[in-house]
Structure 1
């Protein structure tokens, strides 16, 4: 092995145990919430054909990590079977649906929590390897519109159980900017490039966006109208009148306005204040065709979106059958990177109890005590060595284990041994039986709180 100093790799986060406990809590809450809404879990392979990944628009060609054998020759690396790590979970899911369509029941509701990889420059909240938690609903042939309302409600339920503070889900419909641009006189092939430029508005500001739009061939008036559309937002369907007041007309635009108004009206009934119609939200990937979502932490909008997605009508297709879908993805690693300094796990170890050792000869008995506790759902471990009890207590305290169990010794007169358990927080020590003793409910599992 090389003796060179080991250095961390930028963009590949690794959590310490207590931080990992926070991440695990978030993932457990998200998974339970998804399942409570009827989503079933799947996992897809880490790699997809590069050709498929490259066809999904955005800057995917700059972000894909290629995968090949070290001994692969040039022909293998350049062939149509070349593989790349997936950069999101939607593209592999669409492939999964097509491959397994005959075995799935539609509409198919799935959740997927996995790592993804993107070869972009690491920066605040952006990584090369990170965890996403996705939900999608796909149907065969047609997808009812009401699912576009349902997904943000699921996210709201998950976030309500997590210590993330206030958040806002911004929503738009891709048909609104597309129809608007066509109504301005842009050619169809200009629409997607303009969408990508406008999607950078929060990152680079209106002046830079205006410059990029004029460089793309738009007139000053067209660029100004694009910015005017992007500036419109509203907590209800009143945004539609403001768009129409700009004087641009197109059938696709009107279709988008009606669709987004329906989403906003439905959300107002089920979760007032949850959604904000924000017409600068576009999403850079080409496969989105309808409603699109982005979620921001209130007061930390400059950080960008921590949860996003949208509707796609043609991503999952085998040429004969199409499976339209709508999905939304929580950027778990991105969210935690922002929140981790403010969060604290109650302990780093899942153990509730450390079973102490008087001496090594007593280890079998301590192991039996631990087994009895585990059978009743109480996580525990046996002390690593028969050190002085004071050192064993310090070991438990350093790991945040709240209780230490002291096995009793039989008396000389034959009286049965009596065990005791000590609460390290209060100092209270009481007699205990591993067949009946139960810790407080709050101690059974690691909890996460805000510092």
Structure 2
């Protein structure tokens, strides 16, 4: 008696690890292409770092990030192996980039700029817009000893150009300088700058009344709490923020430095990307290593989703004990942004395949002719697919329709045996030669469509 066949294991999705259908993947690839091409237009070469770093380095650079690190260990480890994992998957691209700079400093030309588009992993609770595995796209500029401040103005311009090219609506880059709140807080007698920044950073989440209560609970006076909120309320698209800060009557050398630095960034933005940047003095960025300009970016109409693109200046990206490498960088949360746009149906692709032409097959013995036509079209960079079966032409047309392909090519369909191509949207069918026919430019590649367009 034969034993019963084992039951197939049930396939269930893993939350926090997004996988896209073909049409969604086309949207993602369009975003990645635009991002990469724009990075390269600004002279940022690409690097790729390994997926794992020593856990002690990840923990040391990430504060309490050890709670989110995925440890990596061998399932079939040798005897004696065990205990806590020594390697972990990187949770951002800054930590591996800092290590990369230290390891390759002798072979890099400084100031060194790079772009990096890779997966990262965080073991946090999955929810809308937050994933365990996701793609980030970073640019950074790093130098030896000192970094010219003009890079702090140039970095957000790259992002402004990307956002202009993507079909996503208006993205506003909010800019601040950490020296402004630090100098301001010290000027009103607050010594715990980091603690105050962390509280003020919650403004968008809990509102000014609760932030004020938290400031008082942390030992700030009524006057100090009111002044902190007054500073955080300042937001301008021009240099008006300087006068508004001065009107608060606080003096401190660090505050002067921060206002001057932020003025340079906003001036550069006004000259090169009008309306793309605003001075927003509530932006703090929670990570302690930011020391100068900081950035956050929101999608207009979807502010509740928070920032999709953030970063800042850090005066000690990496150090080998003798040399310090300061830098400035910014990162796009590609998966986070797509999670909103695709999940809410705000973007879609015009078709689920890169092919714009289906080459029909009259009969199986005629497939070589269809293959030759497809080869000729591809040689001229016209994406196409050969029909999988020599079915009735109505079925082959429906095959193309279901995938969004706008054209079907019929070998020898003309009265004199010439080929014909049909636009299945309009029904128009004309004679065509594979060596000269061209579809409209907008049909060659899938188009990314906005729901509100």
The structure-2 alpha-carbon separation of the partners of 1:74 and 1:152, relative to structure 1 and needing over 3 Å to count, comes to: farther
TM-score calculated relative to the size of structure 1: 0.92
Aligned-pair CA distance for 1:148: 0.9
Contact 1:197 1:209 in 2 (8 A): yes
Q: Distance in 2 between matches of 1:402 and 1:409?
A: 18
Residues 1:70 and 1:214: Cα distance change in structure 2 (over 3 Å): farther
- The aligned counterpart of 2:253 is 251
Cα distance in 2 between the residues matched to 1:387 and 1:294 = 55
- State the shift of 1:170 in Å: 0.5
In 2: Cα distance, 1:410 partner to 1:257 partner: 73
Task: Note the C-alpha offset of 1:315.
Answer: 1.4
Partner of 2:3: none
Match of 2:84 among 72, 78, 97: 78
The answer to whether the 8 A contact 2:234-2:244 is kept is: yes
Displacement of 1:205: 1.9
How far does the alpha carbon of each residue in 1:350-374 deviate from its partner, in whole angstroms, 9 at most, with x for none? 0121111112222222222211211
Matched residue count: 443
Q: Is the 8 A contact 1:25 1:447 kept in 2?
A: no
Q: Call closer, same or farther: CA 1:221–1:70 in 2, change over 3 Å.
A: farther
Contact 1:407 1:419 in 2 (8 A): yes
Q: How does 1:182-331 map to 2 (within 5 A)?
A: 182-187=186-191, 190-331=192-333
Could you tell me how far 1:254 is from its partner in structure 2? 2.0
Q: Which structure 1 residue ranges, 5 or more long, are not aligned?
A: none
Q: Within the alignment, does 1:69 sit opposite 2:69 as a pair?
A: no
CA distance in 2 between counterparts of 1:206 and 1:219 reads 15
2:31 maps to 1:26? yes
- Stretch of structure 1 that moved more, 211-220 or 248-257: 211-220
Taking a change above 3 Å as real, the CA distance of residues 366 and 166 of structure 1, as seen in their structure-2 partners, is: same
- Cα distance between partner residues in 2 of 1:232 and 1:333: 31
Change (3 A) 1:130 1:225: same
Comparing 281-290 and 118-127, the one that deviates more: 118-127
Match of 1:387 in 2: 391
CA distance in 2, matches of 1:140, 1:239: 32
The answer for unaligned runs of 5 or more in structure 2 is 1-5
Give 3-state SS (helix, strand or coil) of 2:27's partner. Answer: helix
Q: CA deviation at 1:223?
A: 3.0
Pair 303,317 (structure 1): closer, same or farther in 2 beyond 3 Å: same
Structure 1 residues 306 and 410 mapped into 2: Cα distance closer, same or farther (>3 Å)?
closer
Match in the other structure for 2:339:
337
Taking the aligned partners of 2:220 and 2:167, their CA distance within structure 1 comes to 45
Q: Tell me the TM-score normalised to structure 2 length.
A: 0.92
Q: Which of 160, 165, 182 is residue 156 of structure 1 equivalent to?
A: 160
- Does the Cα contact within 8 Å between 1:210 and 1:224 map onto a contact in 2? yes
Q: Which residue of 2 aligns with 1:352?
A: 356
Q: Partners in 2 of 1:349 and 1:409 — Cα distance?
A: 25
Deviation at 1:43, TM superposition (A): 1.2
Distance 1:212-1:11 versus aligned 2 partners, 3 A rule: farther
Q: Which of 73, 91, 94 matches 2:95?
A: 91
Q: SS at 1:119's partner residue?
A: coil
- Partner Cα distance (1:60, 1:242) in 2: 37
Find out whether 1:372 has 2:408 as its counterpart: no
1:323 partner SS = strand
Distance 2:90 2:132 in 1: 11
Distance 1:370 1:295 in 2: 44
Q: Deviations over 1:26-61 (max 9, x none)?
A: 111111111111111111111112222222345423
Change (3 A) 1:193 1:61: farther
- Tell me by how many angstroms 1:218 deviates: 3.2
The residue correspondences of 1:1-150 to structure 2 (distance < 5 A) are: 3-57=8-62, 59-71=64-76, 76-78=82-84, 82-150=86-154
CA distance in 1, matches of 2:60, 2:180: 24
1:267–1:275 Cα contact (<8 Å) kept: yes
Distance 1:97 1:213, change over 3 A: same
